[in-house]
Amino acid sequence: MENIGALALILAFCLAIYSFVASIVGAWKKKPFLIASGERAVVAVFAMITLSVGILLYALVTSDFRFAYVASHSNRDMPVYYKVSSWWGGQEGSLLLWNFVLICYGLVVVLQNRKKHRPIMPYVTATLMATQIFFLVLNVFPASPFQMLAQGRNIVEVQDGNGLNPLLQYWTMLIHPPILYMGYVGFVVPFAFALGSLIVRQPGDSWIHTTRRWAIVTWFFQSTGILLGAGWSYAVLGWGGYWVWDPVENVSFLPWLTSTAFLHSVMMQEKKGMMKIWNIVLVAATFFLCVFGTFMTRSGLVASVHAFATSDIGKYFLVFLTAGIAFTIYMILGRLDYLKSESELESVVSRESSFLFNNLVLLACCFATLWGTLFPVISEAVSGEKVSVDAPWFNRINIPIGLFLLFLTGVGPLLAWRRASAESIKRNFLAPFLAMLVLMAGLAVAGVQHFFALTTFGLCLFVAWTIGAEFWKGAGAIARKESIGLMPAMVALTHRNTRRYGGYIIHMAIVVMFIGFAGAAFNKDITVEVEEGKAFHLGRYEMKVVKVDTGQTDNYVWQNATVEVKVGGEQYATLTPERRIYSQSQQPVGAVKIHRRLNEDLYLNFAAISSEAQRPIIQAYVFPLVTWIWIGYWVLFVGSIICLIPSKVKMSYAKTEVVGMAGANAKVAK
Amino acid sequence: MQKWRNSLLALAVAGWCLAQTGDMVPPEVRRVGDRLACLCKSCKNTVATCQMLGCHYTAPARARISELSKNGVSDDAIVQEFVKKNGKEALAAPPPDGFSLLAYLVPPFAAFAGIGFIGWFIRRHRKPVAEAPALSESDIEKYRDAAAKELERLEE
């Protein structure tokens, strides 16, 4: 069986090379049968990779500890769903997941476009397969999941495996890696279409229309993956940190920023025929940053709590990134004439300019994050000095950038295309601006002194007001015209232009998340060693450990503390934070308990039992407003789904422009 | 059975290993600790925010900060002691001097370069204002407002 798995990967590798060569030669020599053969080879690659995935999963589920990978990342007593998730618990398996997701996308692209986009499809197939070849090289040579445990020349089996890292035995880890990969791998599709379009000098914005949905879907998966990671970190690590600017978190954030910039600037190309080079650059940057992120988590270039074991696969990534970036730059420079702008800006105060600034801010955030992530490496290489770049640096640089971006989120959508008049600016912004000032003044008087939190709350109101006003005005007009209620009118309005109003809902999601981020300014915590029955306090909470229990499951032994919580003398909640020792790894892990409310979370971690007095040590935290981050995600989910629904009214964007202003005595010719 | 005995033993040992720290982080430790990185290599927190019980770096660092602070040593002097002992890596953010100054200068420089690029882009792609025969300012304003209102009614 193990031989079939390894052979399937080697065959997939050979077929991917064939598909790449057949597509290029077919397009070059204009041989349709070669092009078709290249596309069919994609189906064969899919079959081979799926077979190897099936074999690995079978080995994991049946605890076949002859496989080195299964022995390292699984054990007999793990529940079957964690055995399945061991697939992406280690380097080799997660690379196989990357290959699997990539070929699934490749298959969908090939099947979807059997009769469409024929001139560029060979190059799209070739780009997809070039990426596939690279990742298959990793799985076939340095990181094969089908290595066997051997003694001398004999394959041997260990009695039980090491088990999955206990921190990964949490429900979000069942879906976080696949979803994140669906986001990162997925951007290869827009990139492949962009590159194909460049190579054949395809006229118009066809590649953008083709890949718009891909871009939205992959962006949504990126967002979901990042937030699932944040949710895991919050609920598992025992101290409630959902984002600490760790290098691996940072590199997952970089392509999200560039893809967000792309989703905005692409509108400039669709509606004005501008920023064509820029859009190609953003798509390429997103794709290469996705690969760069994978490189960072696996190369050991920077220390991270999330990184896979250091390995020597980094050099493979460097070769792929260098070759890919060089080829893309070469293609862009060779096609500058084809990428010329079709129209001009009419005013600095316009929707167009707001997109430019939006892109600038997103890219500034991306660059600052990349710079901060790499600075320790650069500093050591250049000056020989080791430095730390931790959360305080990132917060100092990125919080102002984030707030400016939030401000633009409110301003941009209300500026008119071409030019915004002073009157319209006053009409749209005066009320929300005044409301923002009033709220900030009110909060300051109420005792909120934290500058950034205060600004965030003010800006959140400003943006929410502007978005609400857009819905209110549009839905109000429809309600009056069609004599229907405001809610049906809202639905009708959204359905008329799903992309626009779905986008507004996503903006609202960002607002909601910022409320949650701002809450971090008011976090409180305490670590106490408590005697059973004695109370301790944090904020308005009075807590008492009433008992400590011990027990075991097949997979771990546990110890939990029952903590009664009172507020104002009234019973509020009973929480039972737990500590576990997993049988195979012998690693202690906390299972925190969180009492979630809209205003604040009470978060308890049973950290230890003191050595001398045998008393429980409890870490208690109050995290104000953090729930709004997760609510924000669901708003983002709804907005993204709405963006994907076809609009009821087909929009056409005539690229017209004002050519001049008629004189006072001008007459209309009859 | 052997396995569970080992696990229970590990639980007890872990408890003993972890139970090294006391209660709340005092304000002076939090203040100074915010400027110092936790160098345990398994988190990216500061000495003030590291929550790992018995962290081999943060626990003694907090004790030292507390001790120096009680002896009247200033915050800056405490931070300098950590830098003397562990190098600049001890700081949570690079110091704004020498090569590390670039950590602070490069991001704003890049942002200004971006603003410059936008300025260049706007100048290059801005439509020249058409020469128009004279119209009274109030008429022009009226038409502009009418046009702006029309444009705002357009979808996107």
Smallest CA–CA separation between B26 and chain A, in Å?
10
Q: What pLDDT does residue B132 have?
A: 61
Q: What pLDDT does residue A308 have?
A: 58
Reading the block at residue B69, the tokens are 């602070």
Q: Is the pLDDT of residue B143 over 80?
A: yes
Q: What pLDDT does residue A124 have?
A: 96
Q: Can you tell me the distance from the alpha carbon of A95 to that of B99, in angstroms, rounded to the nearest whole number?
A: 37
Q: Which residues of chain B does A404 touch, with a Cβ-Cβ cutoff of 8 Å?
A: none
Q: What is the pTM of this model?
A: 0.87
Q: Which residues of chain A does B88 touch, with a Cβ-Cβ cutoff of 8 Å?
A: 385-388
Q: What confidence tier does A651 reach under pLDDT thresholds 50, 70, 90?
A: low
Scanning A67-106 for CB atoms below 8 A from B yields none
Complete domains list, chain B, with CATH: 2-93 (1.10.8.640), 99-153 (no CATH)
Q: Is the pLDDT of residue A189 over 50?
A: yes
Which residue has tokens 């799985």? A139
Smallest CA–CA separation between A191 and chain B, in Å?
24
Q: What is the CA radius of gyration of chain A?
A: 28
Q: Can you tell me the distance from the alpha carbon of A613 to that of A169, in angstroms, rounded to the nearest whole number?
A: 31
Reading the block at residue A210, the tokens are 């083709």
Q: Can you tell me the distance from the alpha carbon of A228 to that of A290, in angstroms, rounded to the nearest whole number?
A: 17
B146–chain A Cβ distance below 8 A for any pair: no
B40–chain A Cβ distance below 8 A for any pair: no
Q: What confidence tier does A667 reach under pLDDT thresholds 50, 70, 90?
A: low
Q: What is the pLDDT of residues A440-491, one digit of tens each?
A: 999 999 999 899 999 999 999 999 999 999 999 999 999 998 889 999 999 9
Q: What pLDDT does residue B11 have?
A: 44
Q: What confidence tier does A656 reach under pLDDT thresholds 50, 70, 90?
A: very low
CB A638 within 8 A of CB A505: yes
How many Cα neighbours within 13 Å face the side chain of A28? Answer: 7
Q: Which of A244, A396, A586 sits opposite B10 (nearest CB)?
A: A586
Q: Which residues of chain A does B2 touch, with a Cβ-Cβ cutoff of 8 Å?
A: none
Q: What is the pLDDT of residues A578-618, one digit of tens each?
A: 998 887 777 788 899 999 999 999 999 998 888 777 888 99
How many interface pairs between A and B have CB atoms less than 8 angstroms apart?
225
Q: What values do phi and psi take at A591, rounded to 5?
A: -120, 95
Q: Which residues of chain A does B90 touch, with a Cβ-Cβ cutoff of 8 Å?
A: 388
Q: Can you tell me the distance from the alpha carbon of A214 to that of B46, in angstroms, rounded to the nearest whole number?
A: 40
Smallest CA–CA separation between A609 and chain B, in Å?
5
Burial profile A259-291: b = 16 or more Cβ within 10 angstroms, e = fewer: bbbbbbbbbbbbbbbbbbbbbbbbbbbbbbbbb
Scanning B48-87 for CB atoms below 8 A from A yields 49, 51-54, 87
**Among A595, A68, A502, A490, which Cα is nearest to A263's?**
A502
Of the ranges A52-61, A234-243, A299-308, A627-636, which one carries the lowest mean pLDDT score? A299-308
Q: Is the pLDDT of residue B16 over 70?
A: no
Q: What is the pLDDT of residues B67-123, one digit of tens each?
A: 999 999 999 999 999 999 999 999 999 999 889 999 999 999 999 998 898 888 878
Q: What pLDDT does residue A156 have?
A: 80
Q: Which amino acid is at A477?
A: A
Q: Can you tell me the distance from the alpha carbon of B27 to that of A609, in angstroms, rounded to the nearest whole number?
A: 26
% of chain A at pLDDT higher than 90: 63
Of the ranges A111-120, A622-631, B70-79, which one carries the lowest mean pLDDT score? A111-120
Q: What is the pLDDT of residues B29-40, one digit of tens each?
A: 989 999 999 998
For B83, name the nearest residue in chain A, comparing CA atoms only: A387
Q: Which residues of chain A does B41 touch, with a Cβ-Cβ cutoff of 8 Å?
A: 303
Q: How much is the ipTM here? A: 0.79
**Among A391, A387, A363, A364, which Cα is nearest to A374's?**
A387
Chosen for mutation from A264, A275, A342, A421 (greatest number of chain B CBs closer than 10 Å) is: A421
Torsion of CA A428, A433, A434, A438, to 10 degrees: 150
The beta strands (E) that lie in A485-555 are given as: 524-529, 535-538, 541-552
Smallest CA–CA separation between A171 and chain B, in Å?
22
Q: Look at residue B53 and give its three-state secondary structure.
A: coil
Scanning B97-116 for CB atoms below 8 A from A yields 98-100, 102-103, 106-107, 110-111, 114-115
**Do the bridges between strand A556-567 and strand A541-552 make them parallel or antiparallel, or are there none, so unpaired?**
antiparallel
How many Cα neighbours within 13 Å face the side chain of A512? Answer: 20
Q: What pLDDT does residue A169 have?
A: 83
Q: What pLDDT does residue B9 have?
A: 47
